[in-house]
Chain A
Amino acid sequence: MQKWKKGIALLLTLMLLLTAQQTGAFSNQIIQRGAEGDDVIELQARLQYTGYYRNQIDGVFGWSTYSALRNFQESFGLPVDGIAGASTKRKLEQASKYDEAHVKSQIRKGRAFTYYGGAKTTAKSVNTPAGFSQNDIQLMANAVYGEARGEPYQGQVAVAAVILNRIASESFPNTASGVIFEPGAFTAVADGQIWLTPNEKAKKAVLDAINGWDPTGEALYYFNPDTATSGWIWSRPQIKRIGKHIFCE
């Protein structure tokens, strides 16, 4: 019984490997804007080989890849939609060569391609929401972790949302760093807890908030009713309570 199972598993893996080699390295997925990963690296490399893509091969399907793909589709008589579906991928495979091992080793070294017409590669790129850099996100994650690490996930998204609501508000600075370091604004900044290393949960909460989630109903302030020392904060209209924090307008 055991042997029989193993045999089937081996056969399946072999079949998978074989089919993968037959169709080139592209997997079966339809690749669209915003995607990351090996298929995107191959897409960019092939578009570059055919002369349509001139930017860095970084494995993230951004705007420049999108316009390169549209131009490719237009000149090869394909429907122009900027999405790499089955027919587009087939055309690309016919029109270009792709040496996966070579491309990936160049990317790891961060070197320029000679094989593909001298375009540069970067070791890694990451998607970030428009208007925010990786460092903005890191700084906000530091603040959220310092302020609300004991809170439920919603409570952490909420703290990040308050920072963003302040950025949008005219009564506060209009950058993340400006809001976070405003003297007296956050206790975690005043006592240095902001410099603790944040965990993944805090980072995810920040990303959600930047992508638009606001569980606070547009709050600009929050406080812990058990430890709040200022009487003024109690006079703000209260919207909602999440965990230990009350969020107000």
Chain B
Amino acid sequence: MRSFITAALAVLLVATGIWGYMQYQQKKALMIEAENGYQQAFHELVYQVDVIHDKTGEALAMNSKSNLTPALTDVWRLTSEAHNAISRLPLGFMPFSKTEEFLGASGDFMYKTAVRDLDSEPLTEKEYERLESLYKQSADLQKELRGVQQTVLEKNLQWIDVAHATANGEEPKDNTVVDGFNTIERKSSEFSEADVFNAAQVQKSVSDDALKRLKGKAISKKEAASIAKSYFNMDAEVTSVEQSLKGADVPFYTVVVDGQDGEEGSMDIMKKGGYPLTFTVNKTPGKSRISLYEASVKAAAFLKKHEFENMVVTESAQYDHTGVFTFTKKIGDTLIYPESVVVKTALDTGDVMGLEAQNYWKNTKERKVKKPSLTEEKAKKELHPKLTVLETHKAVVTNEEMKDVLCYEFLAENGTASYRIFINADTGKEERIEKLAEAEAGYEV
């Protein structure tokens, strides 16, 4: 009898243990889910404030009403999304009403201005000033939020801990988040009388289908391997050549190589015609020995050697000891932006470590650049009067309707920011406005 009770109790104990463990597992899964929800809301909030800032900046440089209305509507939509993201954060323990008020009032201003017929009733000087102050305030908000974001990422802060503390009515342990939000709140309350935009981060123009029209003979695996070797600037050994799987729009080979110093390299080459699509080498360059300028000259020579003709540098940036350059085709005095490639160079040896040419191959074709019907002076008149033009080019860009159009490209500034503006060389339409980003400051944590 005794032994029966012991056995029964033991079974019961094990069962409770298993039950408890399952409960624990379930709770953990739910906590992770809740945490992910909070994280999403928070990072979205930061991103939306970023875009609000950029779009207000772009609106400041716009002169055409047909662009201004959608830009303002965009800001209006984003303020409401940012508002929504705040509401999903567990911020119950602190007042956050001023920031929300700021977002709300800004949204109202944007909405009222956007729905008005700006042709008959353009922005008044006062409204313009308000837009300007909104731009500045969103910069403050952005800076504080990015600071908090950096802390959250660096210290792996869990929003769920903040939520628990709130529920128990205590002050959360790590106060950086709380402090950050308190600063934001204080700043927002300083904004007098509410003075506050969709952007996908990436632009990919054309689909892979466009590669089908490229002509050439099919190449073999062996030929692919030897083409790849000519691109890798090192003593590389080909470890594998594999064909793409059935679902690829155009069949291509992937050639994998190993360098002697342990570099991993890989390159995609189209089966038809052997066109080089993309390659990278994973190598960490040593300390820089050559300048970005010298590296760009070497990159240009590399392109020339591989038969990319008439390419000029249109963008360059240094990341630690790596230089990244965008090269664009130039026909006569006109830049053809759709036909651009990106080249990566090590700044210690100057060796090319990567080429991305898929967009180039999708867009390249015989082009005849015709004479524009507007003169440069005429096109300049379409710009916002507060802008000073630094540089002018003729350029072909892909517009929103996915058509290639001839434009005048103006590089201009208005004292606070620089812009790149494309004015259609035939119709005078503002095809595209970009606010050019400055380097991002490091935040003190």
User: A residues engaging B (CB < 8 A)?
Assistant: 29-37, 55-56, 58, 60, 62-64, 66-67, 70, 82-83, 110, 122-136, 138-139, 142, 152-154, 157, 164-165, 167-168, 174-178, 180-183, 189-192, 195, 200-201, 204, 207-208, 210-215, 217-218, 236-242, 246, 248-249
Q: Are A175 and B442 touching (Cβ within 8 A)?
A: no
Bound CA span A153–B316, Å? 24
- Chain B 273-299, CB-CB to A under 8 Å as 1, else 0, gives 000001010101000101111101000
- Shortest 4 CB-CB distances between A and B: which pairs? A237-B247, A177-B43, A29-B291, A181-B40
Bound CA span A62–B284, Å? 24
Q: Are A154 and B264 touching (Cβ within 8 A)?
A: yes
Q: Are B201 and A217 touching (Cβ within 8 A)?
A: no
Q: Are B280 and A154 touching (Cβ within 8 A)?
A: yes
Bound CA span A213–B322, Å? 15
Given A154-B264, A192-B32, also A30-B291 (CB < 8 A): yes
Bound CA span A62–B315, Å? 11
Q: Can you list 9 A-B pairs with a CB-CB distance of less than 8 A? A: A63-B437, A126-B439, A135-B149, A174-B201, A177-B40, A200-B284, A204-B282, A213-B356, A240-B248
Q: Are A213 and B278 touching (Cβ within 8 A)?
A: yes
Q: Are A126 and B344 touching (Cβ within 8 A)?
A: no
Bound CA span A207–B282, Å? 12
Q: What is the distance, in angstroms, from B335's C-beta to the closest C-beta of chain A?
A: 16
Given A58-B441, A127-B439, A167-B202, also A175-B39 (CB < 8 A): no
Q: Are A126 and B440 touching (Cβ within 8 A)?
A: yes
Whether, in the assembled complex, B381 has its beta carbon less than 8 Å from a beta carbon of chain A, the answer is: no
Query: Which chain B residue has the least Cβ–Cβ distance from A30?
Result: B293
Q: Are B242 and A241 touching (Cβ within 8 A)?
A: yes
| Most chain B CB neighbours (cut-off 10 Å) among A132, A134, A195, A217 | A217
Q: Are A178 and B44 touching (Cβ within 8 A)?
A: yes
Q: Indicate which residue in B35, B245, B342 contacts A239 across the interface (CB closer than 8 Å).
A: B245
Bound CA span A76–B422, Å? 29
Q: Are B316 and A67 touching (Cβ within 8 A)?
A: no
**Contact-residue size bin, chain B (C-beta under 8 Å from the other chain):** 35 or more
User: B residues engaging A (CB < 8 A)?
Assistant: 32-33, 35-37, 39-40, 43-44, 46-47, 50, 146, 149-150, 153, 156, 198-204, 207-208, 242, 244-249, 252, 254, 256, 264, 266, 268, 278, 280, 282, 284, 288, 290-294, 296, 315-319, 323-324, 342, 344, 354, 356, 358-359, 390-391, 413, 418, 434, 436-442, 444
Q: Are B36 and A183 touching (Cβ within 8 A)?
A: yes
Bound CA span A210–B266, Å? 18
Q: What is the distance, in angstroms, from A39's C-beta to the closest C-beta of chain B?
A: 8
Q: Are B200 and A167 touching (Cβ within 8 A)?
A: yes
Q: Are B444 and A129 touching (Cβ within 8 A)?
A: no
Bound CA span A218–B390, Å? 37
Q: What is the distance, in angstroms, from B348's C-beta to the closest C-beta of chain A?
A: 14
Q: Indicate which residue in B40, B156, B201, B359 contacts A131 across the interface (CB closer than 8 Å).
A: B201
Q: Are A34 and B390 touching (Cβ within 8 A)?
A: no
Query: Which chain B residue has the least Cβ–Cβ distance from A200?
Result: B284
Q: Are B201 and A167 touching (Cβ within 8 A)?
A: yes
Given A34-B292, A131-B201, A167-B201, also A63-B149 (CB < 8 A): no
B204 cross-chain contacts in A, Cβ below 8 A: 165, 168, 218
B43 cross-chain contacts in A, Cβ below 8 A: 135, 139, 175-177, 181
B44 cross-chain contacts in A, Cβ below 8 A: 175, 177-178
Q: Are B344 and A208 touching (Cβ within 8 A)?
A: yes
Q: Are A131 and B199 touching (Cβ within 8 A)?
A: yes
A240 cross-chain contacts in B, Cβ below 8 A: 244-245, 248, 254
Q: What is the distance, in angstroms, from B279's C-beta to the closest C-beta of chain A?
A: 9
Query: Which chain A residue has the least Cβ–Cβ distance from B149?
Result: A135
Q: Are B440 and A133 touching (Cβ within 8 A)?
A: yes
Bound CA span A243–B37, Å? 31
Given A31-B293, A122-B442, also A168-B202 (CB < 8 A): yes
Q: Are B291 and A35 touching (Cβ within 8 A)?
A: yes
Bound CA span A126–B438, Å? 9
Q: Indicate which residue in B146, B201, B290, B318 contacts A36 across the interface (CB closer than 8 Å).
A: B318
Query: Which chain B residue has the least Cβ–Cβ distance from A71?
Result: B390
B315 cross-chain contacts in A, Cβ below 8 A: 34
Q: Are B319 and A248 touching (Cβ within 8 A)?
A: no
